[in-house]
Structure 1
Amino acid sequence: MIVFIWAEDLAGNIGNKGKLPWHLPADLKHFKKLTENHTIVMGRKTFDSFPGLLKNRHHVILTTDAEFTNYYKDNDQITIFNSLTDLRKWLLNEQKTIYIIGGFSLFDALKDIPDRLEQTIIQNRFKADTKMAIIDYNRYKLINREDFCKDTKNKYNYSFLTYVKL
């Protein structure tokens, strides 16, 4: 099963200067709960935005950077693909649940294959330079929506939405 997982604001923004434009601990906890003990797939820039390897997850990274590939070649927590074609072929043949976590280019290139969407909507607008790829929601059914109000730890109202492919 291929799952897209991401957070966006009311304008569809997902990033600013290689980082999330907001800090929402509840979304980070939600992301961890869903992706822990699974494989996460990302582009190199998304990987670079992390403080390090995420615990209890296998990282699959798409990059053409030979130096990056060489640096991580012996790390068993990372698999590197140097072409989108090879990554797509691998994804379509995998039997386990795999989470695609970004960024825009990867979401856009693979938008025809997810079986499930895990979307967080932050009920605010932020300064950003990256929007989410356009998803054809007509191909999916909303099966769960949870709405939350801001609190002492989370400065914004937010919602978790789960869609499955029709």
Structure 2
Amino acid sequence: MPVIAIAIVADNGVIGDGERQPFEFAEDWARYKEVTLGHPMIMGRATFEAIGRWLPGRATIVITRNPDRIELPTDGRATGYTAGSYPEALELARSLDDTVFVAGGGRVYAESWPDLDELDLTEVHASAEGGVVFPRIDPAQWRETRREPRGPFDFVGYERIRGADAAPQ
């Protein structure tokens, strides 16, 4: 049952400013859809609000202290849930499918770090402004398994090295 973090990350580790991600590439969004379709995604409330809608074809679990403020989808195209904590969200996601994606933001990535089996990243070859960062990828903990250059960014996969300390750096 892999738990996979999926993110777009600037070369200085920035993933956003608390409201938006700094980069948007059509090819990245298309790949995000292809990879996550049919699987549950866990994300924080701010990440959900930055996306601005429920994504069709997958279950989205929004971590929030105020679930009554999140309007769940009713059109049948998307499935949405709320959870009061990351552990609650992970338990729900694992009950829905064998593959779980963690989709941000920074606090959710940090909290999920010990549970992650893989990283599916879009690594952008530029720095970005913002205070939300992806945890540092320690090569003693993570092995690169693929790299697909795309000009201004690469699609990169990592897998956890079994037996490595899982705490984020």
TM value normalised by structure 2: 0.83
> Percent identity over the alignment?
19
Q: Are the structure 2 counterparts of residues 49 and 124 from structure 1 closer, same or farther at C-alpha, using a change threshold of 3 Å?
A: same
* Partners of 2:13 and 2:136 within 8 A in 1: no
Q: Which runs of 5+ in 2 are unaligned?
A: 162-169
Q: 1:111 aligns with which of 97, 113, 117?
A: 113
Once the two structures are superposed, residues 94-147 of structure 1 have per-residue CA deviations (whole angstroms, 9 ceiling, x without a partner) of: 651111000001001110111111011110112222111234442222111111
Residue matched to 2:144: 142
Distance 2:139 2:96 in 1: 24
Residue 23 and residue 92 in structure 1: after superposition, are their counterparts in 2 closer, same or farther (change >3 A)? closer
Residue pairs, 1:6-25, within 5 angstroms: 6-25=7-26
Q: Distance in 2 between matches of 1:75 and 1:102?
A: 25
**What is the RMSD computed on CA atoms of the aligned residues?**
2.2
The yes-or-no answer on 1:81 pairing with 2:76 is no
Cα distance change of structure 1 residues 83 and 38 upon mapping to structure 2, 3 Å threshold:
same
Task: Find the counterpart in structure 1 of residue 101 from structure 2.
Answer: 99
CA contact (8 A) 1:2 1:91 kept: no
Distance 1:73 1:31 in 2: 20
Q: Aligned letter for 1:108?
A: A
Q: CA deviation at 1:27?
A: 1.2
Residue 165 of structure 1 deviates from its aligned partner by 2.1
Q: Is the 8 A contact 2:36 2:101 kept in 1?
A: yes
Residue 46 to residue 142, structure 1, CA distance change in 2 (3 Å): same
When normalised by structure 1's length, the TM-score is 0.84
- Conserved 8 A contact 1:108-1:134: no
